Amino acid sequence: MPTLRLENRLGSEMSPYLRQHVLDPVAWQPCNDDALKLAEELQRPILLSIGYSACHWCHVMQRESFQNQEIAELINNHFIPIKVDREERPDLDHIYQRAALLLIGHGGWPLTVFLTPETKPFFAGTYFPPRDRFGRSGFPAILRQIARLWEREREAVEKTANEITAAMAEESMPVGDQRFVIPADGRIDQDMVTRLLKDAENYLLELYDERNGGFGTAPKFPCTSILAFFLQRSRENPSLLEAVVNTLDHMADGGIYDQLGGGFHRYSTDDRWLVPHFEKMLYDNTQLVQIYLTAFQLTGDDKYRGVVEETLDYLLRDMHHPCGAFFGTQDADSEGEEGRFYLWTRQEVMDLLGQEVGEIVCTYYGIGREDSLTHGGWVLHRAVSLDTLAKHYSMTVSEVDSILESARLALYQRRGQRIPPARDEKIITAWNGMAVSALAKAGSVLQVPMYLEKAKGVAGFGLTRLRRSDGRLCRSFMGDPSAISGFLEDYGYFVAGLVDLYKATLEPFWLDAALNLMELAIQLFWSDSSSAFYNTEAGNNLLFRPSIPEDESYPSAVSIMARNLFYLQNLLSTPGGEKLELILNRYLDDMKVNPWGFAGLLTVLDLAQMGLREFFLIEPAQGGADPEMLNVLQAAYLPESIIYRWNTAPYQQGRLVELSLGKTAVEGKTTVYICEGQTCYPPITDPAELRAHIQRFPLNVKKEPPLPVQ
C-alpha cells in the first residue's frame, strides 16, 4: 500500500461540527471530489463518520477515539477518513443510515460506515468504544480487522458492498416500480381511504402509552408526525384528542421540557418523560410549538398557550440570530458532561432559596426523588400538582404559585451564571421554514403581532440570504451561503412556512413567493417517469438518487411537499392536484402497512379526503376588512383550508382572478364565500353566522351540498 502522510483538512469548512474536529490527529477530509479521488488513487477504503454538533455520543467517540494518537494512526495509515455533518448533508446521512439498517439492523449517530473507494458500504456501526469490553470489540480491533479484510479478501468485501448497494437502490423507488399502479380513473377509492385512515388510528392507538402519554417505550420521542395526525383526525374521533392531551401534559410536566428556560430537549431516556437526552433542536421545538398551539385551539386550555409562549421565548432568546433567522441546535453537553447546565442538587437549591422556600421547590420539581437523578444531579420536573403542594404546605394555590414563580426566576438567573451548552450556529433552510410556520401560526391564533413580525424576518432572510442568484435555495448559511444546494426538505418546509405566513397575514407577497419556489421545486425534484419527488437534484455524485417518504425526526420531505400541493393545487401552473393524487396513490400500501413511518403522508391523505376548502374574504369597495370576520377565520382550526383576501391589485391577474369570478361584497359589507371544488356556499356577512358555519366542519359540512354562486 502506498505511503502518504494525510493532513486534517477541515479547517476551512463552514460547519461548526466539522470544525470541532480540526485538532483531531485523524486526517479528516471533507466529503468532496478531492477526498473521493484520493481514495480511488490509493485504493484505500473510506472511513465515513457522520454526526452533528449537539450529539452527545459523537463527542464521546471523539474524545475516546478520534483524539487518541494510536487510533488516529491506525485510521490514517489504512483508510481515507471523511467527516460529514448530517445537518449539512442529509442526503448522505439518509443513504448510509439505510446501509447501516441493512448491515446491522439499526442506525444512529455517530454513524460509522466503511466504504469502498467507489463509496459502496460494506461494514457499519454507530458508537464504538476505544477498547474491547463486555464482549464487544473496541474500535482499534475493528479497524485492524477491516484493514486485513481489505488487503486479503477484497473480492469478498466488494461483493458484499455491491449487494448492499443494489439492495439500497432497489429500496429507493427505482423508475418503473411495478408495485405502483394508478387506478383507471386516476382517483383514489374514498371508502378504501376511510378504512385505511381508521385502521391507522387503531394501529397507533395500540402503541399509545395511556399511563405516561406518548408512543412505545423508552427511549421515548415526541413523535410530532403522529400527534399532528391525531389532532387533525380528533374532530371526528375525540379519543385521539384525549391521547394527545395526555401526551402533551406529561411532556410539559416532565424533564424533557426545560422547566426554567422553556423549550424541549431531544427525547426522554425513560418512558415517563423524566430524564432527557439534553440536546435541543430547532426542528423539535418549532414542530412542538405547532402541536401545542393546535391543542390550545381545540381545547381552549391556557396551559398549552403557556407552553407555546415559553418555547417561542426560548427560541427568540437563545437561538435567534440578529439577522432574523434561527440557529440549528444546542449541545447536550457543557463542561464535558451531558446535562450539567440543567441539573440541580438539593444543596444548591437550599443555598439559593433558603430552607423554607427550598423545601417547596424541591418537592414541586422532584429534587431528591430517585427517578429523576442522573449524573449526580436532578432533572427538574413537575412532580406534584399545585393543589397537592398547596394542601401539603397549608397554603392557597395562588400563594404557592407566586412562591414557585419567584423561585423559578431565581433558579433561572443562577443557571445563567453557568457555562452554557455550545450552540451550532448554522442557519438551516428547512428548519427555518419550520420556524416561519410556528411563528406565523402563533401570531395569528394568539393575536400577537410580534410573532408575525419575527416570522416575516425569518422568511425575508430566507428569500434573500438563503437563495442564490438563479433563484435556487442553498442548504444553510453561516456568515455566507453554503455551497451545498438545497434539498427537497429545504424547499418543502420553506414553502410551507411561506404558505403559513400568507395564511396568517393574508399579504399576497408571501403567497407569490411560495408559488415561485414551489414551481422551482417541482422542476428540480419531481420525476414524471416515477410520479414522485426525489430528495436531491439530479446529477449529484451519489450511489443513487434517494426518495424517502418515511418520517424521521419530523414529517418527511415528500409528505410536506404533498401538503404544499394540497394548499396550492388551484394556483400552480402545473396540475398540483394531479401530482398529489399520484403521490398518495403511490404510497397507499406503505401507509397501510406502516402508519408509524407514514403519519406525515397519512395526515395529507386525510386532508385530500376532506378536500380543499377555500375561503374568499371580499372587502367592501371603500376598503378595510371587518376585524371580527378576520379573527373568526384566523383563530379557527381549519387545516383543510386556505383563505384569499381580495382587496387590491396584486391579485387582479393570474389564476386567482378565475377563482374569484362572481364573488363580490354584499351590501357594502365584508363578505366571505366558502368554496369546495368548483362550487361555493351562499355569501356570509355576519361574524356569528360565519363562526357557526365553521363550527360544523368537518363533521357535517358534506351533508349540505354547496350551492353555486349566483
CA atoms lying within 13 Å on the CB side of residue 182:
15
Q: What is the mean pLDDT of residues 122-142?
A: 90
- Is residue 483 located within the same domain as residue 556? yes
Question: Is the pLDDT assigned to residue 389 strictly greater than 50?
Answer: yes
Q: Does 483 fall in a domain?
A: yes
- Is residue 92 located within the same domain as residue 219? no
Task: Please confirm whether the linkage preceding 219 is cis (ω < 30° from 0).
Answer: yes
> Which CATH number fits the domain that encloses residue 64?
3.40.30.10
Question: Is the pLDDT assigned to residue 170 strictly greater than 90?
Answer: no
Question: Is the pLDDT assigned to residue 455 strictly greater than 60?
Answer: yes
pLDDT of residue 318: 97
- 542: which 3 cell numbers? 451519489
Chain-centroid distance, C-alpha 244: 18
User: How many structural domains compose the chain?
Assistant: 4
pLDDT of residue 626: 85
- The residue among 623 and 461 whose pLDDT is bigger is 461
- Is residue 227 located within the same domain as residue 359? no
Q: What is the mean pLDDT of residues 400-411?
A: 97
pLDDT of residue 137: 85
pLDDT of residue 4: 65
- Is residue 330 located within the same domain as residue 351? no
- Tell me the residue range of the domain where 696 lies: 613-703
Q: Does 444 fall in a domain?
A: yes
Q: What is the mean pLDDT of residues 87-97?
A: 94
Q: What is the mean pLDDT of residues 520-540?
A: 91
Q: What is the mean pLDDT of residues 113-138?
A: 91
Q: Does 183 fall in a domain?
A: no
Q: Does 504 fall in a domain?
A: yes
- Is residue 330 located within the same domain as residue 200? yes
Question: Is the pLDDT assigned to residue 357 strictly greater than 50?
Answer: yes
- Is residue 302 located within the same domain as residue 436? yes
Q: Are 450 and 305 in contact (CB under 8 A)?
A: no
- Tell me the percentage of the chain whose pLDDT exceeds 90: 78
Indicate the residue among 550, 580, 610 that finishes a domain: 610
> Which CATH number fits the domain that encloses residue 388?
1.10.10
Q: Does 10 fall in a domain?
A: no
Q: Are 365 and 350 in contact (CB under 8 A)?
A: no
pLDDT of residue 680: 84
Average pLDDT across the chain, whole number? 91
- Is residue 544 located within the same domain as residue 430? yes
Q: Does 243 fall in a domain?
A: yes
> Which CATH number fits the domain that encloses residue 635?
3.40.30
pLDDT of residue 699: 46
Q: What is the mean pLDDT of residues 486-497?
A: 98
- Is residue 30 located within the same domain as residue 86? yes
- Is residue 576 located within the same domain as residue 450? yes
Question: Is the pLDDT assigned to residue 104 strictly greater than 70?
Answer: yes
- The helix/strand/coil state of 582 is helix
Q: Does 266 fall in a domain?
A: yes
**Whole-angstrom distance, CA of residue 228 vs CA of residue 699:** 18
Question: Is the pLDDT assigned to residue 332 strictly greater than 70?
Answer: yes
Length of the chain: 710
The model's confidence at residue 188, banded by pLDDT at 50, 70 and 90, is low
Q: Does 709 fall in a domain?
A: no
pLDDT of residue 657: 64
- Is residue 619 located within the same domain as residue 498? no
Question: Is the pLDDT assigned to residue 619 strictly greater than 70?
Answer: yes
Residue whose cell numbers read 474524545: 63
Convert the pLDDT of each residue in 472-486 to its tens digit: 999 999 989 999 999
pLDDT of residue 592: 96
- Is residue 295 located within the same domain as residue 149? no
- Is residue 408 located within the same domain as residue 433? no
- 50: which 3 cell numbers? 457522520
Question: Is the pLDDT assigned to residue 187 strictly greater than 70?
Answer: no
Indicate the residue among 417, 442, 473 that finishes a domain: 417
One-letter amino acid for residue 551 of the chain: D
Residues 6+ apart with CB under 8 A from 306: none
C-alpha distances out from residue 128 to 55, 138, 219, 311, 379, Å: 15, 6, 20, 35, 28
Indicate the residue among 382, 401, 417 that finishes a domain: 417
pLDDT of residue 705: 40
pLDDT of residue 472: 96
DSSP structure class, residue 650: G
**Whole-angstrom distance, CA of residue 188 vs CA of residue 184:** 10
Report the b/e string of 281-305 with b at 16+ CB within 10 A: bbbbbbbbbbbbbbbbbbeeeeebb
Q: What is the mean pLDDT of residues 432-457?
A: 97
